[in-house]
Structure 1
Amino acid sequence: MAYEKLELSSPSPVLSWANHPLGSEETKMAKNVASLPFVFKHVALMPDVHLGKGALVGSVIATKEAVIPAAVGVDIGCGMAAIKTPFNGDQLEGKLKKIRLDIEAAIPTGFNENPDVEKTVSNWQRWRDFNNLHKGVQDLEVKAMRQMGSLGGGNHFIEVCLDSENQVWLMLHSGSRNIGNKLAQCHIGTAKELAKMAGNKLPDPDLAYFIAGTDEFKAYWHDLQWSQNYAKVNRDVMMARFKRIVEKHVAGGKQSKPLLEVNCHHNYAEKEVHFGEEVYVTRKGAVRAQENDYGIIPGSMGAKSYIVQGKGCANSFCSCSHGAGRLMSRTKAKNVYTLDDLVKQTEGVECRKDEGILDEIPGAYKSIEEVMNQQSDLVKVVATLKQVVCVKG
């Protein structure tokens, strides 16, 4: 058994797969969530668990008849995509820098958007549903269209990786961009207003929730599903562009067929059946790991990443970690590490090596190997990847 039941005096138990004790702030956050009346069975904490807003990042919260928008968070549908290509590492010889520069030219990062909207984007069926989204985002349709197929900032990235057989993989991490963020904020605001009006004594204002069956719940659930869909398609659009760039450099532009494709969220909510009951499952920094589900658990840009298959562990609500998890805040990382440290820790990786990405230095993250050791009951490793090119958002 890889998890332990935490000693908390909360109405619902908290099961933790982490091999480190929680700090006082983290303990308080776990206890707050576990004291909500609609939590189903228990709260599950993944091995990469760390502080978040309202709920811990790396927590899986199953609920009956209610959902907490701030627990899903503002990057709705954030997640990973990866494809295994038929190419091998030798074919990349001498081409890494060109590939990186082409990716940076073709895929907007940070707050940037595409200069025009490509056909695959304008053909997305869900645009016709845009006017049914929250009224607070109605002026953002053009921006949302232009941002579909863009990476965003923070810890979002695009990587060319090699597995232990020297096979080339393409991998990226991104979410629902500005539109998902704005929708989340609109609904979190509504939930907080409702809680205030009802005089709800919440342990934390960020745990304001919607009750199933209400108009507010319906509106949030609709916009949530739309944003999750947007995030998935956003990754698909970037992946297609990324694949074409790599094919140009290693196969003279000839199209290749992926040997495996994975696209999974790690910040989202879904209706699922657990312990024989239909519940809402919120995975805040966690990946679904039902039996044979494929998932992606990335390390930071100097560490290994893993393609996994779920084992369907009931107590984790069929979930696993979504990465290594931060060891220190972005500000602390910038104060602790230097540019020389970054150069050392990203040795052998074709990437930017400047102060703009110092907060993403591998040392700011937990050891991905330890995180993987803690979840051998949740997933089995299908492939171990090491990046050779990394583009940061």
Structure 2
Amino acid sequence: MGKLTLSGKELRGIGYPESPVISIAMQVMEKHYKHASKSEALEILKAILSAPENYADNKILGTIAGKLMPASKAEGSQVSLNNQGIPFNIFGREHIEEGALHQMYQAARLPISVAGALMPDAHAGYGLPIGGVLATDNAVIPYGVGVDIGCRMCLSVFDIAPKELAQKDGFFIKTLQRETLFGSGKQFDQAEEHEVMDHALFGQLPLLRPLHGRAWKQLGTSGSGNHFVEFGVVEVGEKDAVLGIEPGQWLGLLSHSGSRSLGANIANHYTKLAKSKRRLPGEASNLAWLTLDEEEGMEYWLAMNLAGDYAAACHEVIHRKIARALGRQPMRIVENHHNFAWKEMYEGRELIVHRKGATPAGKDVLGIIPGSMTAPGFIVKGKDVSAAVFSASHGAGRKMSRSKAMASITKKEMKDVLQKHGVILIGGGLDEAPHAYKDIELVMESQRALVEVTGKFTPKIVRMDGC
């Protein structure tokens, strides 16, 4: 007998309302009743629909029943932090500011925390620090994932000689200007086509329904801050079986952006819900969580995964349009999420692993770890180190806040460093100047045990917000 699969149409056919309960019911039944027949599963769902109060205390089916019962008002409970937190490993301690360490120590004291690690690019953020990795028991922390859900790196490698970047720089500059769009509120006049926009959840979750139109017009755009799309040189010294690129130099297209306003709305909405349900002391309040046994937690999990798929689709659109302009298909694409949570096995248990500005680094998992607009990035594959909760840094990491960078770096200093490295910058501000970032070589040295370098990317033409 095959595994159980249900459709929204089938649930609507037995009377289920057009609401988030459909996605929740499908997920619960397909996970816990995967060997039941479809007719058996539908009979169970009919019984819950007719008398949801009879299933309210059921450990498995109660989640579905709860969605079918009138909402009850309940005040959030006060939650105390543990006196002693879980132990966690710190990589590159000498490069990490005290604010990030403090935030990680707080996260380690949560009652739900099981394992954690701090990456060498870490700096303070909201909730978890940027570069923080936290594994929890059946709970997800919206601000442990972050506001820009599913922010990711994507690298397309083309069989084009890198010397063309200098010989035809005007063409490559115009391509980035024509095919990309930057800015927190920017959107295209004409929406791009992609199957992610047909996801049923857009019609089932009340939060997402009004966001659909804007998300569609922002598909293939990038935000502000450290988001970029850039051309550069990919260098591969030795052929790696996992990467699969021949040794040599190739033209690369690298992008960094996330789920735009869609992810921000999801993050903020469910953080408010989490804070209302679990009141944590002081600045630890940003670490409020939702369990995957409760409606809000399951809703967030579904919405978070949709935001991750949407972020991936944004990169797909960007790379597809630019590949079309180049008249070539990439010979290899490498990409990876950060600002996300995964269900993973850790020491024999399924846990929720949050990587806030950290790259998955399981065995042979490929990823890109960028430096800055003048520093190289690295193509890596994971070494599956449990002490790091199978993670690595997501970049060089900031050594200056945005305000400090803008106050202490001059336009001339930025122009000089760009000229020194032969980089053409379109847009970008002093807050993203190379001086504001840690030395990527030192960061990589601090995580030699976590990843193996299989290639290198050197930026040459960089586009960011501000143009």
Instruction: Give yes or no for contact 1:10–1:31 (8 Å, CA) kept in 2.
Output: no
Partner of 2:150: 77
2:250 is equivalent to residue 179 of structure 1: no
| Greater relative CO (CA pairs within 8 A, separation 6+) | 1
2:394 to 312, 317, 322: 322
**What is the distance in 2 between the residues matched to 1:350 and 1:141?**
35
Deviations 1:159-179 (A, max 9, x none): 111133331111100100011
Shift of 1:244: 2.1
2:176 is equivalent to residue 96 of structure 1: no
Partner of 1:149: 220
Deviations 1:300-355 (A, max 9, x none): 101111111111111111111000000010110000101111111212111136xx
DSSP-derived class of the 2:181 partner:
coil
- Cα distance change, pair 24–384 in 1 and its aligned pair in 2 (3 A): closer
2:88 to 3, 7, 14: 14
Matches within 5 A, 1:134-213: 135-164=206-235, 165-196=248-279, 200-201=280-281, 204-213=284-293
Instruction: Give yes or no for contact 1:191–1:210 (8 Å, CA) kept in 2.
Output: yes
- Cα distance change, pair 95–385 in 1 and its aligned pair in 2 (3 A): same
Deviations 1:261-313 (A, max 9, x none): 11210110010111121110000000111111110000110111111111111
2:309 to 215, 223, 229: 229
Shift of 1:126: 4.2
Deviations 1:238-261 (A, max 9, x none): 11112223x1xxxxx3x33x2321
Instruction: Give yes or no for contact 2:215–2:262 (8 Å, CA) kept in 1.
Output: yes
Q: Which has the larger radius of gyration?
A: 2
DSSP-derived class of the 2:278 partner:
helix
When the two structures are superposed, what TM-score results if normalisation uses the length of structure 1? Answer: 0.90
2:417 is equivalent to residue 352 of structure 1: no
**What is the distance in 2 between the residues matched to 1:95 and 1:11?**
56
Matches within 5 A, 1:1-393: 10-20=84-94, 22-40=96-114, 42-110=115-183, 111-119=185-193, 121=194, 123-124=195-196, 126-133=198-205, 135-164=206-235, 165-196=248-279, 200-201=280-281, 204-245=284-325, 247=326, 253=327, 255-256=328-329, 258-347=330-419, 348-352=422-426, 357-393=429-465
Deviations 1:141-192 (A, max 9, x none): 1110000110111100001111333311111001000111111111011111
More displaced, 158-167 or 272-281? 158-167
Identity percentage over the alignment? Answer: 33
Instruction: Give yes or no for contact 1:289–1:310 (8 Å, CA) kept in 2.
Output: yes
More displaced, 205-214 or 95-104? 95-104
From the two aligned structures, give the one with the greater strand fraction: 1
- Cα distance change, pair 24–309 in 1 and its aligned pair in 2 (3 A): closer
Give 1:48's aligned amino acid. Answer: D
Question: In the comparison of the two structures, how many residue pairs are matched?
Answer: 369
- Cα distance change, pair 17–126 in 1 and its aligned pair in 2 (3 A): farther
Give 2:459's aligned amino acid. Answer: Q
When the two structures are superposed, what TM-score results if normalisation uses the length of structure 2? Answer: 0.76
**What is the distance in 1 between the residues matched to 2:451 and 2:382?**
4
